[in-house]
Amino acid sequence: MEPLIPTKTLKRVSPKALLTKSPLLQSTFKCQRFFFNSHLHALPNRRIPSLKIDSKLKTSQDNKKKPITQKIILSEGAPPLSEDVAGNEETSAKSQNSSSPMPVLRFFKKIPRRFLALLSNLPLAIGEMFSIAALMALGTVIDQGEAPDFYFQKYPEDNPLLGFFTWRWVLGLGFDHMFSSPVFLGMLVLLAASLMACTYTTQIPLVKVARRWSFLHSVEAIRKQEYADSLPRASVQDLGIILMGAGYEVFLKGPCLYAFKGLAGRFAPIGVHLAMLLIMAGGTLSAAGSYRGSVTVPQGLNFIVGDVLRPNGFLSTPMSSFNTEVHINRFYMDYYDSGEVSQFHTDLSLFDLDGKEVLRKTISVNDPLRYGGVTIYQTDWSISALQIRKDDEGPFNLAVAPLKLNGDKKLFGTFLPVADSDSPNVKGISMLARDLQSIVLYDQEGKFAGVRRPNSKLPIEIDGIKIVIEDAIGSSGLDLKTDPGVPIVYAGFGALMLTTCISYLSHSQIWALQDGTTVVVGGKTNRAKVEFPEEMNRLLDRVPEIVDSSL
């Protein structure tokens, strides 16, 4: 078979051009020249002055960690040693995940290998993920958190769904609260165990293999790679420079070349797994150690943080900030021109035990208040009272009640009794409001009487009674929480995003061997299997052909 001969139309890439491109290289070269060791091979190509040379004597102890005794590194300001690159990767992955997995790993060493192998089994992990997905889907199909009666009626025993699914399944397996049911949580724990086992038994050994990079010394071994080609009348140094220009880390030893790119993509899946574990740990801490509470407070009133918060789990411990008293200075809304609500605001003041104001902030949806580990969110609102003057008497506060009509929109109403309020058939003026902007008034017969804005001071006369609506007093619905898991979960989120992105990188490795005047090139990659040959062909096309036979 005739080997493919790539076209060589490009002119020779001068190493000087490369040098002028990176001034950094010249400086490194100058200091590196000091460390030239006398016993090294003479460089076959003297035209490349940018070689950084590093050598180490092979000792038996060194053997395991550093299989390469001497290496000539063509480096363009990149990290010089592959070992270093790998080390950095690992430490950075560890530092992202602040809770180091090492104690876990040590713990795992005591568990029999067979159990570990079972856990790290890929089909098992896939099965776990499938069942978690199925359980979650079921959790959205079955209505959550209803009373048992609801399930008795919806999943009756005499008419089972699909022939078997009755309320006994729902309540027995805790599917009425799927996301805290033992089945679901058990699956999650199992998945976490699988993640750890897989990271330990499969992924970390993979790193050790990937870090042990080596030259291939035989043409056959290179030709066996997924991608293989040979370049007649070429020099391996030129190839090295071109690969370097394409972002590869290049290592040269005599006639052998080894280059790689995207090593991080090989390690990132480990980071993904660790980040998942971190998120799971943070989620557990959130579930076990948080406080939650919600409160609806009319404008002008106070509440104590600790009275509202209820512990969520056994790890919940009260904080000093629970003594803080919160005062609602003002609750108000912003409106669009069309009259729709655009935003809710609550002006809050926080007082410590001595009655000193420690913090004042106007919160709104998407802009919570944080103080001493407690976060206060704006989540809801209602109208607590209408302040009215009746025939210039008052002002009176009329308590407002929420009315539930069809639809989600809020409606509040109150009633001003007219005449004898003790009679069984009491009549009066009804007032309805959708928001704090306008109040609709109806007379004793229930007929529409008019609309008034609070603060407008404009009186309205209904059945001979003059009414002025002074103010509509809103109350702010606040959610309070403390969550010690959030920093851990956020760290996990950050790590997961980063490592998922890095996982997209394809780890490409290239070997080359100078065989006479021919350079044999072989390479493989783990992800971009179609793009890699294209890239290789493009790069190899740029390798200059040696015209004169002076070599």
Partner 1 sequence: MIFLTLEHILTHISFSIVSIVITIHLMTLLIDETVGLYDSSEKGMIATFFCITGFLVTRWIHSGHFPLSDLYESLMFLSWSFSIIHMVPKIGNHKNHLSEITTPSAIFTQGFATSGLLTDMHQSAILVPALQSQWLMMHVSMMVLSYAALLCGSLLSIALLVITFRKNIENFSKSNHLLIGSFYFCEIQYVNKKSNVLRNTSFTFRNYHRHQLIQQLDHWSYRVISLGFIFLTIGILSGAVWANEAWGSYWNWDPKETWAFITWTIFAIYLHTRTNTKWQGANSAIVASMGFLIIWICYFGVNLLGIGLHSYGSFTF
Q: Half-sphere exposure of residue 537, counting CA atoms within 13 Å on the CB side? A: 9
Q: Which of residues 159-178 bind partner 1 (CB under 8 A)?
A: 178
Between CA 241 and CA 234 the distance in angstroms is 12
Q: Peptide bond preceding 459: is omega within 30 degrees of 0, i.e. cis? A: no
Which one, 53 or 486, has the nearer CB to partner 1? 486
Which one, 323 or 500, has the nearer CB to partner 1? 500
Residue 367 lies near partner 1 (rule: CB under 8 A): yes
Residue 406 lies near partner 1 (rule: CB under 8 A): no
Contact stretch for partner 1 (CB under 8 A) within 21-29, 92-100, 337-345, 441-449? 337-345
Q: Helix or strand or coil: residue 528?
A: coil
Residue 71 lies near partner 1 (rule: CB under 8 A): no
Q: What angle do CA 141, 142, 145 make, to 5 degrees?
A: 130
Q: Among residues 19, 43, 465, 528, which is the contact residue for partner 1, using CB under 8 A?
A: 528
Residue 531 lies near partner 1 (rule: CB under 8 A): yes
- Closest distance between partner 1 and the C-beta of residue 479, in Å? 4
Q: Among residues 125, 210, 231, 242, which is the contact residue for partner 1, using CB under 8 A?
A: 125
Q: Helix or strand or coil: residue 504?
A: coil
Give residue 439's identity as a one-letter amino acid code.
I
- Residue 28: phi, psi to the nearest 5? -65, -35
Q: What is the largest CA-CA distance in the chain?
A: 121
Q: Among residues 496, 513, 536, 543, which is the contact residue for partner 1, using CB under 8 A?
A: 496
Binding mask 175-214 for partner 1 (x = CB under 8 A): ---xx-----------------------------------
Residue 126 lies near partner 1 (rule: CB under 8 A): yes
Number of H helices, E strands in the chain: 16, 23
Residue 336 lies near partner 1 (rule: CB under 8 A): yes
The sheet that has 325-335: what strands, in order across it?
302-304, 325-335, 341-351, 357-364
Contact stretch for partner 1 (CB under 8 A) within 153-161, 295-303, 453-461, 478-486? 478-486
Between CA 188 and CA 194 the distance in angstroms is 10
Residue 35 lies near partner 1 (rule: CB under 8 A): no
Q: Among residues 36, 107, 396, 504, which is the contact residue for partner 1, using CB under 8 A?
A: 504
Nearest to 119, CA basis, from 133, 104, 134: 104
Q: Which of residues 212-241 bind partner 1 (CB under 8 A)?
A: none
Which one, 375 or 382, has the nearer CB to partner 1? 375
In this structure, are residues 258 and 509 in contact, taking their beta carbons and an 8 Å threshold? Answer: yes
Residue 379 lies near partner 1 (rule: CB under 8 A): yes
In Å, how far are 45, 88, 294 from 401, measured between CA atoms? 91, 63, 19
DSSP state of 160: -
- Closest distance between partner 1 and the C-beta of residue 374, in Å? 11
Between CA 452 and CA 468 the distance in angstroms is 9
In this structure, are residues 263 and 85 in contact, taking their beta carbons and an 8 Å threshold? Answer: yes
Residue 310 lies near partner 1 (rule: CB under 8 A): no
Q: Among residues 347, 352, 470, 479, which is the contact residue for partner 1, using CB under 8 A?
A: 479
Burial of 459 (0-12, 13-18, 19+ CB in 10 A): middle
Residue 364 lies near partner 1 (rule: CB under 8 A): yes
Between CA 470 and CA 386 the distance in angstroms is 8
Contact stretch for partner 1 (CB under 8 A) within 104-112, 164-172, 512-520, 527-535? 527-535
Contact stretch for partner 1 (CB under 8 A) within 38-46, 323-331, 359-367, 386-394? 359-367
For the chain, the residue count is 551
Q: Among residues 341, 358, 418, 546, which is the contact residue for partner 1, using CB under 8 A?
A: 341
Q: Residue 428 belongs to what H/E stretch?
A: strand 427-433
Q: Among residues 377, 412, 442, 511, which is the contact residue for partner 1, using CB under 8 A?
A: 377
Contact stretch for partner 1 (CB under 8 A) within 120-128, 167-175, 239-247, 350-358? 120-128
The sheet that has 439-442: what strands, in order across it?
401-403, 411-418, 427-433, 439-442, 448-452
Binding site for partner 1 (CB under 8 A): 122, 125-126, 129-130, 132-133, 136-137, 139-140, 144, 178-179, 283, 286, 292, 336, 338, 340-344, 364-368, 375, 377, 379, 479, 481, 483, 486, 489-490, 493, 496-497, 500-501, 503-504, 527-531, 534
